[in-house]
């Protein structure tokens, strides 16, 4: 199964509304970063490279909710940093659930035992746990031993409490088709998470490790082999089928980063979650004052090897909703 039916129906209705209003650019998912601080120092992430005074800041609840309401996205991915370090993260989540937003709270899962009692299960809410490989590979990725075992134990606990759990796995040049298959099999069949997301590693400029990011050709080759022999149909992904086709090089898309905007302590980030060409004060300013034609593969050298979810999943979703055949395919998984 692909994207949950309830979410697919809501997003579909939202897209129809945008079309009727003749809007050409709008938000599908908001990447909300209410803080940059984290309890890990992962090699592939540069968020904790922000100045010490910024790492101490926490976005007020009212500001976070105002950003969600301003852009109108039906889906909100709460990232960071580690969101569970925010003292009022459960308030932010609860306010979004009241508004019937689909909320994915991205976490390394280490703080779940201390915070889980502040949350309640909901069909609109899911934990999005970062799992970047099996034990040895994951612990190396987060630069700390024992994290994989803790994360798995904590995932099992929240599953027993009735929460939906999704995972997000980032893959690098050090991964092989077999290592990717093994982690997806484990998450799908052994840990039995509800759905999984895939992220080909992108050369994020603040990341300490700059040597192991995948290029476009490498990404297509890797996922083409991973998805071969019918394996893809066995796994539960939180992606549209067309985005998975895109990862495997079966189709190509243009980047639509405006559909997954990033809002943080600095404001609305131009042009996307992974690149920083300054900030806008409002979502409207982001849309109207950003020269989107400058970005994407073939336009900006920094985009040359990007196949990231934040740029291309919305393109795949728009293509899916524009095709009856692809819409039926997405619902079937």
Residue pLDDT tens, the chain, 333 long:
467 888 988 998 999 999 999 999 999 999 999 999 998 888 767 666 788 898 899 999 999 999 999 999 999 999 989 999 999 999 999 999 999 999 999 999 999 999 999 999 999 999 999 999 999 998 888 888 999 999 999 999 999 999 999 999 999 888 999 999 999 999 999 999 999 999 887 655 554 444 557 889 999 999 999 999 999 999 999 999 999 999 999 999 999 999 999 999 999 999 998 899 999 999 999 999 999 999 998 999 999 889 998 899 999 999 988 776 776 676 665
Between CA 303 and CA 90 the distance in angstroms is 35
Closest C-alpha among 28, 25, 27 to residue 8: 28
In this prediction, residue 46 carries a pLDDT of 62
DSSP assignment of 48-80:
GGS-HHHHT----HHHHHHHHHHH--SEEEE-S
Phi, psi of 113, rounded to the nearest 5 degrees: -60, -30
Question: Which 3 state secondary structure label does DSSP give 193?
Answer: coil
In this prediction, residue 4 carries a pLDDT of 81
Cβ distance 70 to 112 under 8 Å? no
Between CA 312 and CA 255 the distance in angstroms is 5
Whether the predicted model's global pTM rises above the 0.85 cut: yes
Residue found by looking up tokens 């301003």 in the block = 70
Residue found by looking up tokens 């024992």 in the block = 146
Question: With 0-12 CB in 10 A as exposed, 13-18 as middle and 19+ as buried, what is 114?
Answer: exposed
E runs forming strands in the chain = 29-32, 75-78, 102-107, 125-130, 164-171, 195-200, 262-264, 267-271, 276-280
User: What letter would DSSP give residue 302?
Assistant: G
Sort strands 75-78 and 102-107 into parallel, antiparallel or unpaired. Answer: parallel
In this prediction, residue 210 carries a pLDDT of 47
């Amino acid at each position: 199964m692909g994207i949950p039916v309830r979410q697919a129906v809501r997003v579909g209705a939202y897209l129809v509304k945008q079309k009727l209003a003749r809007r050409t650019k709008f938000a599908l998912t908001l990447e909300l970063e209410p803080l940059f601080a984290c309890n890990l120092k992962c090699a592939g992430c540069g968020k904790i490279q922000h100045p010490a005074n910024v790492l101490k800041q926490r976005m007020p609840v009212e500001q976070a909710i105002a950003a969600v309401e301003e852009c109108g996205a039906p889906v909100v991915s709460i990232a960071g940093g580690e969101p569970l370090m925010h003292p009022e993260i459960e308030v932010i989540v609860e306010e979004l659930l009241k508004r019937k937003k689909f909320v994915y709270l991205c976490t390394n899962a280490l703080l779940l035992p201390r915070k889980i009692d502040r949350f309640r299960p909901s069909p609109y809410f899911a934990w999005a746990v970062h799992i970047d490989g099996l034990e040895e590979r994951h612990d190396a990725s987060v630069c700390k031993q024992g994290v994989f075992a803790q994360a798995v134990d904590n995932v099992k606990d929240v599953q027993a409490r009735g929460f939906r759990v999704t995972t997000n796995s980032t893959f690098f040049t050090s991964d092989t088709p077999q290592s990717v298959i093994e982690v997806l099999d484990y998450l799908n069949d052994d840990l039995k998470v509800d759905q999984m997301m895939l992220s080909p590693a992108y050369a994020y400029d603040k990341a300490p490790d700059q040597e192991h990011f995948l290029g476009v050709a490498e990404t297509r080759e890797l996922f083409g082999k991973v998805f071969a022999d019918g394996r893809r149909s066995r796994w539960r992904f939180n992606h549209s089928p067309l985005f998975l086709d895109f990862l495997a090089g079966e189709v190509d898309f243009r980047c639509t980063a405006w559909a997954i905007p990033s809002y943080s302590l600095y404001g609305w980030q131009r042009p996307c979650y992974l690149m920083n060409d300054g900030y806008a004060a409002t979502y409207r300013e982001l849309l109207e004052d950003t020269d989107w034609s400058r970005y994407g593969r073939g336009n900006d050298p920094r985009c040359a090897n990007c196949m990231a979810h934040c740029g291309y999943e919305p393109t795949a979703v728009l293509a899916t909703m524009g095709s009856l055949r692809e819409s039926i395919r997405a619902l079937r998984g």
